[in-house]
Amino acid sequence: MSAAGVALMLGGAGIVLAASPAQAAEVSYRTECIPPPISGLPPVQGTTKVEITAPAEAKVGDEVEVVWKFVEAASKNPDILDLEKDTVKPTGTLKAAGAQTADIAMEGSRTNPPIPKNSPMKLSDMKGKVKLTKAGEVTLTPDAYNINVSKPMSTDTKCTPKETVKAGATIKVSDGGGTSGGTSSGGTTSGGTTTSGGTTTSGGTTSGGTSSGGTTSGGTTSGGGDGGRSDFPGKEVAVTFACKSPGPANINSKVTINAKKNGGSYDLVVKTAKGVMNSPAALPAGALKPSMAVLLGGVDKGTVPVTGPANKDPLEQGKPVDLPDMTGTYKPGASGKSTLSPGTLTIDVTLGGQKISIPCTVKGSAAVSLELDTAAQPGGASGGDSGGGTTSGGSASTSGGLAQTGAEDNGALRALALVAGTVILLGGAVFTFTPWRRLSGTRH
């Protein structure tokens, strides 16, 4: 029986059969989702199931709409906090191949029902448009996607395929004599904060750049009397910091340590490069504060704590951050040539009365930025704890200790990060399976 006959028969029975050129196919693929670094949570391995709907046939010059429907997201909302209505927004990329190869940007609306704890994620359909420019077959394959949560603060979870993904739809494009043109992208819905396609990552590391403090060579003084000098500029040195979770994996920066004589002590000013790191999340003014344990060498031993003020202005997620100058006082504990080098950099993030301390230790041995000809002062450094500006541990180790963090071991740090990161910054955690049994074991 012909299709028309079937439609006529069903119509007579009171059933409407809508003829449509669209086709829909379900595709599933293994996926890894990366929570934002500030959450302190590990990557999640799961399976994404999507349904791609597109016209089965079209002509050159046509602009067609494609729909990406989430049948199943790669993970659930963990057993932490209920998500409010209309707080979740997906964006993604659809790969085109064959007669057309340009990617199609997909965007969903910030429309979702309330999502209880420990329940499947409910993501809105994503839509995108593409203008067809060549005759032939065009295959459409789902690729990476991003999930933005607007409350309690804006955070993103980035999900990428971990296997070759099968095409979800094919469009047969005939030569209709239409004019050629490039692809057009972008969703058809609006609302809330968006990210571009979910195919880029926020990184967390930036290259050194130039120091904000200017550089001078040397920085060496001669003679215990300093020859009447009071200012001692340091040398700019390149440093790679390895950060603990939930911070970025690495921070690359130029660091300069300058000193000014103040009686028998020295007022220190430590400068880092512009855009030394990317903001881990959208943060209000006063939320991020840096500090460093300057390493002493030569005749003197220990560390000197220097701290900077908190950020004056709000910070945008993923945008470069300029750390303010960090200051402190060095009281020499020995006479002779003492050296000062960059040590552990700590980033403190405070929100809602909760503080996350992210220690970033120096990879390898940091170069000397400043050398001073010092005279020992009562209560000076030399590895002691008696007010010479040294940290409570007095250790100059750069091998991954948690100086200045208040945490005694990595387990305690992760516990702090998880408690503060998941409760306050839950937006980034909602797309991860919650390994509570494993995490509870780190708190002993």
pLDDT at residue 188 above 50? Answer: no
What is the tens place of the pLDDT at every residue in 272-311? Answer: 988 888 887 788 999 999 999 999 999 999 999 999 999 9
Spatial separation of the C-alpha atoms in residues 436 and 265, rounded to whole Å:
49
3-state SS, residue 76? strand
Residue written as token pair 């997909």: 106
Q: Kindly state the DSSP code that residue 325 receives in the 8-state scheme.
A: P
Here the tokens at position 202 are 């926020």
Least Cα distance to 155 among 40, 69, 30, 29 occurs for 40
Q: How far is CA 158 from the centre of its chain?
A: 10
Q: Could you tell me the end-to-end alpha-carbon distance of the chain, in angstroms, rounded to an integer?
A: 72
pLDDT of the residue at 206: 35
One DSSP character per residue, 196-241 reads STT------------BTT---S--B--STTGGG--EE----EEEEE
pLDDT of the residue at 143: 94
Provide the CATH number for the domain formed by 23-199+418-444 in this structure. 2.60.40
Here the tokens at position 197 are 């396609």
Delimit the domains of the chain by residue range. Answer: 23-199+418-444, 226-406
Q: Kindly state the DSSP code that residue 422 receives in the 8-state scheme.
A: H
> Per-residue confidence at 112, pLDDT binned at 50, 70, 90?
very high
Question: For the CA atoms of the chain, what is the radius of gyration?
Answer: 29
pLDDT of the residue at 37: 66
Q: What is the mean pLDDT of residues 188-215?
A: 36
Residue written as token pair 């991003």: 146
> Per-residue confidence at 212, pLDDT binned at 50, 70, 90?
very low
- Under 8 Å between Cβ of 219 and 370: yes
Q: How far is CA 217 from CA 115, 235, 259, in A?
A: 59, 5, 14
pLDDT at residue 186 above 60? Answer: no
- Do strands 326-330 and 265-272 pair parallel, antiparallel, or not at all (unpaired)? antiparallel
Spatial separation of the C-alpha atoms in residues 421 and 429, rounded to whole Å:
8
> Which amino acid, residue 418?
L
Of 158-167, 224-233, 336-345, minimum mean pLDDT range: 224-233
pLDDT of the residue at 22: 65
pLDDT of the residue at 79: 63
pLDDT of the residue at 162: 94
pLDDT at residue 434 above 60? Answer: no
Average pLDDT in the chain: 73
pLDDT at residue 409 above 60? Answer: no
Instruction: Enter the pTM of the model.
Output: 0.44
pLDDT of the residue at 424: 38
Percent of the chain at pLDDT exceeding 70: 66
